[in-house]
């Protein structure tokens, strides 16, 4: 059937009447732990979601991989020539620790005031469930959809999606679509949507230095043997200067310049340093100029020490010379950079600087970018504007990372990110939360996107 503008108004009214049911569906999924890093509950959550898709009459299957499985589901509409939207999301979540900092049990989703609290409620179960609830409503009212829809739900995004490229390569025809649509991360503001056309990638690895078989007495042997902690500190200091720029040879050589369209988007963005400081919980930003701030956030790579472990860190004193030091590193990649190339450059630098240092194997999500002027992208922008009643903020790139390169580079499809989370969702931290208004608005937004993209066939 052809779903008309009047049909869409009916959908939005139906959604408003079913908020309690939509909330119950989210609570059910979020209550199931699915921590990929700790291998807790992933299989159980996978099976639960598989059953949900089958309940909706969708063809669903598990896509096995060398690591954690992904979930695929598909529902065709009655119009054979309709466009196809592929929704991406991830059903795995971050570890909940430290548990003592949670105000509510992380896997007992709890509504307090205007928010639901729990691990995964916003990152990412609530956001992909918004898509599921919109689709469910179309099927309940009309028994049909405006477009063909597909889902791929990743079981290890929080662990770097190591097998997603392999899954894509093995299932090209199954995953083929006109656009990939993902909702992850936060909106520009609770009531102002944000659309992002790409993202930085991320390269992660460990550095280990071992100087002795065991820790040694800092007095009896101090001054005559090496200290692993000092060696690590000195090594790291050779890779980044005081301004935060990497000194690794060739680190910036392949970066793609900012395009005129991207530059224009930057100039149209708002910038309030005081508000950003409050949001980040800091006293000042490194850059108070708008262009420099966004250039460093989106278009320049970072070299980040995630953590350093060495020696004794407990209460009181323990006078030792540490025999081992480990640093965990991530590098945010930008368009033009490739993970393997940067890893090899870092490896060469370390080999020349500190022979005792050993680099671990790496994991990588490559950077991704989509042209914002494509007709199907413009349709999504129109839908988002109608759903929220305001112009969306257009972000040329996200500073964070998603495995969107799998879709742009391997499956050759445009990719658009429309986050539904509130800016203070506390994803990856204790007391992760999702504003109920953001969840329900996200369902409406997906319903409108399905309709607007569906009109492309009628217009052509």
Summarised one tens digit per residue, pLDDT across range 225-251 is 999 999 999 999 999 999 999 999 999
Average pLDDT over residues 59-73: 96
Residue 56 clears pLDDT 80, i.e. is over it: yes
Sequence-separated (6 or more) residues with CB below 8 Å from residue 24? none
* pLDDT over threshold 90, residue 7: no
- Report the alpha-carbon distance of residue 346 to residue 332 in Å, rounded: 13
Please state, in angstroms and rounded to a whole number, the distance separating the CA atoms of residues 402 and 416. 11
Q: Rounded mean pLDDT of the chain? A: 95
- How far, in Å, CA of 233 to CA of 253, rounded? 26
- Average pLDDT (449-459) is 87
Q: What domains can be seen in the chain, in order of their start residue? A: 5-199+367-459 (3.40.630.10), 201-255+300-365 (3.30.70.360)
**pLDDT number for residue 400:** 83
Residue 458's pLDDT is 61
* Distance of alpha carbon 450 from alpha carbon 8, whole angstroms: 10
Residue ranges of alpha helices (H) inside 31-123 are 42-55
Peptide bond into 124 cis (omega under 30): yes
Whether 171 has a pLDDT exceeding 90, the answer reads yes
Instruction: Give the pLDDT confidence of 20-44 residue by residue, as tens digits.
Output: 999 999 999 999 999 999 999 999 9
- What global pTM score does this model have? 0.81
Tell me how far apart the alpha carbons of residues 433 and 243 are, in angstroms, rounded to a whole number. Answer: 34
Please give the average per-residue pLDDT across 180-199, as a whole number: 94
For the chain, give the percent of residues with pLDDT over 90.
91
Alpha helices in 126-177 (DSSP H): 126-142, 164-170, 172-175
């Amino acid at each position: 059937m052809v779903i008309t503008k009047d049909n869409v108004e009916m959908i939005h009214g139906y959604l408003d009447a079913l908020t309690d049911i939509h909330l119950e569906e989210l609570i059910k999924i979020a209550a199931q732990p699915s921590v990929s890093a700790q291998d807790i509950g992933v299989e159980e959550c996978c099976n639960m979601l598989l059953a949900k898709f089958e309940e909706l009459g969708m063809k669903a299957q598990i896509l096995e991989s060398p690591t954690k499985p992904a979930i695929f589901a598909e529902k065709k509409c009655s119009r054979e020539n309709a466009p196809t939207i592929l929704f991406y999301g991830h059903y795995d979540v971050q570890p909940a620790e430290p548990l003592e900092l949670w105000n509510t049990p992380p896997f007992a989703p709890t509504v307090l005031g205007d928010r639901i609290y729990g691990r995964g409620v916003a990152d990412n179960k609530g956001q992909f469930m918004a898509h599921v609830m919109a689709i469910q409503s179309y099927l309940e009212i009309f028994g049909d959809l405006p477009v063909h829809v597909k889902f791929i739900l990743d079981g290890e995004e929080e662990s770097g999606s190591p097998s997603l490229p392999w899954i894509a390569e093995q299932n090209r025809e199954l995953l083929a679509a006109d656009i990939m649509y993902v909702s992850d991360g936060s909106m520009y503001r609770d009531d102002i949507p944000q659309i992002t056309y790409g993202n930085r990638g991320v390269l992660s690895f460990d550095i280990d230095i071992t100087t002795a078989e065991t820790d040694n007495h800092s007095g009896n042997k101090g001054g005559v043997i090496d200290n692993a902690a000092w060696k690590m500190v000195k090594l790291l200091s050779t890779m980044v200067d005081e301004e935060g720029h990497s000194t690794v040879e060739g680190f910036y050589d392949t970066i793609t310049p900012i395009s005129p369209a991207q530059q224009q988007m930057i100039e149209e963005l708002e910038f309030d340093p005081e508000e950003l400081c409050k949001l980040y919980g800091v006293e000042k930003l490194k850059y108070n100029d708008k262009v420099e701030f966004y250039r460093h956030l989106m278009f320049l790579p970072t070299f980040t020490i995630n953590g350093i472990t060495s020696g004794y860190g407990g209460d009181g004193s323990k006078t030792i010379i540490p025999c081992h030091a480990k640093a965990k590193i991530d590098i945010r990649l930008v368009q033009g950079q490739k993970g393997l190339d940067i890893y090899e450059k870092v490896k060469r630098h370390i080999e020349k600087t500190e022979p005792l240092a050993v680099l671990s194997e790496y994991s990588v999500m490559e950077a991704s970018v989509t042209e914002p002027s494509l007709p199907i992208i413009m349709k999504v922008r129109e839908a988002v504007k109608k759903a929220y009643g305001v112009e969306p903020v257009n972000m040329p790139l996200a500073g964070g990372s998603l495995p969107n390169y799998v879709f742009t580079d391997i499956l050759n499809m445009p990719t658009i990110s429309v986050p539904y989370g509130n800016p203070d969702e506390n994803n990856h931290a204790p007391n992760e939360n999702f504003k109920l208004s953001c969840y329900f608005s996200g369902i409406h937004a997906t319903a409108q996107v399905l309709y607007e993209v569906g009109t492309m066939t009628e217009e052509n």
